[in-house]
Every structure is written in C-alpha cells, then in structure tokens.
Structure 1
C-alpha cells in the first residue's frame, strides 16, 4: 500500500495483537449492553480520528442494530442535534469526545460525572473501555491506511 507521500505501509496486523484487540472490543461491547449505543460511540470516535475504515464498518453495524440514517448523519453534530439523541446518549458522546481528543490532557470532571449519572459503575467502565479500544483500532487502521471495506488483517 502506498501513502500520499509515496511511502509504503504494511497491511499486516499481527494475529496476537488482532486477537487481543478483538477480545477487548467484544468485552467492552457486551458489558455496555446496548449494541446501538456502542456502534454510535464507535462512529463518533472514528469521526474524530478520521478513520474511514472504522466509519464504514460501524455505520453498517449501527444500521443492523436499528440506528436510522438520520441519527447516523446527525452524530457528527450531536451537540446541536439534541432532539435526535437521548440525554444518556449525549453523555456517552461527550465522554467519547473528551477521551478521544484529550484537549487539556485529561477528561474534565463534569464530563465524567455527567456520564456517571447515566451509567452504573460497570457500565461506565465498559463505556470507557469501548472508547479506548475504538481509539486504538482507529489508530491502527489510520496508521496503516486501511481503506473502507478492505480486509484489515
């Protein structure tokens, strides 16, 4: 695979790394207990990280879990589209933004506390895990320049 600067990137992902990442992803999703919200969180982080591969994958999965196209399209502007998302979803997206961007080097207390109002301790731990793992996937795919729909392994 050739990058925009003419460099060559590998599409190989070590099987041990892939297996560990897949297990982390599965555990975080399962523990969150809401597959539609999990997919929307992964879309949101992937938007922020400009990961076309993950956006393509998670938009398709979100639709399979009943998320309609209007909500998917408005996710990039979730703060302005209040009527499209529940308070719980908006709290999850705010936490996703804070963990993904880490603008000030930490997640603001008010963002974490807002999420804690909508998720129990285990749910919050799984949400943070999900945000962490999708950010890792985004970085793996973007670094390797994996195109939407490509085989990433």
Structure 2
C-alpha cells in the first residue's frame, strides 16, 4: 500500500491475465510464475521472452529475473523459519482472500 498499490490492483493479481493490469505487468507476473515454479519449470519459452521483450530491454529482463529470484528465495526462507510480519494475526484473512471468493 505504501507504494501506491490499491486493494483493487491487489485483487486483480488472482487472475492477472484476465485483469485490466498493464500488459508489461502481466508479462512480468508471467515471468514471476515461471521463476517461482508456480506453473512450469525449466527454460523460459521463446513466447514468454518475446512477450517480455515487448516491454523490457534485455538488461531489464535480467534485472527483473534477479529481483524475482531474490524475492522468491527470501520468501522460501521466511516460510521455512516460520517468520511472520509484526502485524500478522492468524484470525484475519489475507488482503486478497475476498477476491478469491
């Protein structure tokens, strides 16, 4: 929220491909899914690289990949150690829970 993301934007992340998010965001989110192993593993297919190239230059794609790899590794580490944010409460839904209903 501090960076300007609204509840409406966050809710669109559930099905970002069908959302009204900018195409560059959708391409970056598809890369995120790919790197996180969410949908697929292995080499980035040419179609995804081409899609990314429509919005980012090669250096930006590598930087995006490095940032996503760092964030994914950080997420896995905090999950493994059970670290939760100070404001975490088990009795509250995540902000995106309503969008999945």
Please indicate, yes or no, whether the TM-score normalized by the shorter chain is above 0.5.
Answer: yes
Q: How many positions carry a matched residue from both structures?
A: 86
Residue 56 of structure 2: aligned partner: 119
Q: Aligned residue for 1:78?
A: 16
Superposition TM-score, scaled by structure 1 size: 0.51
Q: Secondary structure at the match of 1:75?
A: helix
Contact persistence 2:34–2:41 (CA under 8 A)? no
Q: Secondary structure at the match of 1:78?
A: helix
Residues 98, 111 of structure 1: 8 Å contact kept: no
Name the structure where helix makes up a greater proportion of residues.
1
What are structure 1's unaligned runs of at least 5 residues? 1-62
Match for residue 43 of structure 2 among 87, 95, 106: 106
Q: Any runs of at least 4 consecutive aligned residues in structure 1 with deviations exceeding 4 A, and if so which?
A: none
Per-residue displacement from partner, 1:24-83 (whole Å, max 9, x unpaired)? xxxxxxxxxxxxxxxxxxxxxxxxxxxxxxxxxxxxxxx1111111001221211121x2
Separation in structure 1 between the aligned mates of residue 68 and residue 40 of structure 2, nearest angstrom: 16
- 2:17–2:26 CA contact under 8 A, matched in 1: yes
Deviation at 1:104, TM superposition (A): 4.0
Task: Between the two structures, name the one with larger relative contact order (CA 8 Å, sep ≥ 6).
Answer: 1
